[in-house]
Amino acid sequence: NFSYSDKEGIESAWHPRRGRNCTVPAINLRGPKRYQTMRNASFSVRGPSLFNALPASIRNMTGCSVDSFKSSLDKYLSTVPDEPQIRGYTSIRRAETNSLLQMTQLATSQTNPVGRDSQ
């Protein structure tokens, strides 16, 4: 396993099977709820969570230009459903929220349906 940490405290590690993942910092569950909420909404928690939700093919990109990375990211994001909360239509939304963290799971399940062999 290989680890990397930048100045802002976001750490990434390379795992032979899962590839590159960022470490999501632990949250003190004994502290006041308002601090837990603020911490959960911080970039140091949301950033790594969003990065880890990306497919390994994007997370593991190295030595490419920014434009190449952005192109791959745009292609992937175009497959993620966008179902904002709209009065009268929210009941048919497939996830609890329109968060990328929940919607990326839908995109993944659509490309790899359960019970189907990937060929």
Are residues 5 and 58 both part of a single domain? Answer: yes
Number of domains making up the chain: 2
Alpha helices per DSSP H over the chain:
33-40, 43-53, 56-59, 66-77, 100-111
**Low-confidence spans in the chain with pLDDT less than 50:** 1-7, 113-119
Identify the pLDDT of residue 57.
Answer: 94
Identify the pLDDT of residue 56.
Answer: 92
Identify the pLDDT of residue 110.
Answer: 60
Identify the pLDDT of residue 113.
Answer: 46
Domain that holds residue 33: 1-63
pLDDT digits 0-9 by tens, 61-81:
999 999 999 999 999 988 888
Identify the pLDDT of residue 118.
Answer: 39
Q: How many CA atoms lie within 13 A of 97 on its CB side?
A: 4
Are residues 58 and 100 both part of a single domain? Answer: no
Are residues 58 and 89 both part of a single domain? Answer: no
Which tokens hold the place of 108? Answer: 């993944």
Are residues 2 and 55 both part of a single domain? Answer: yes
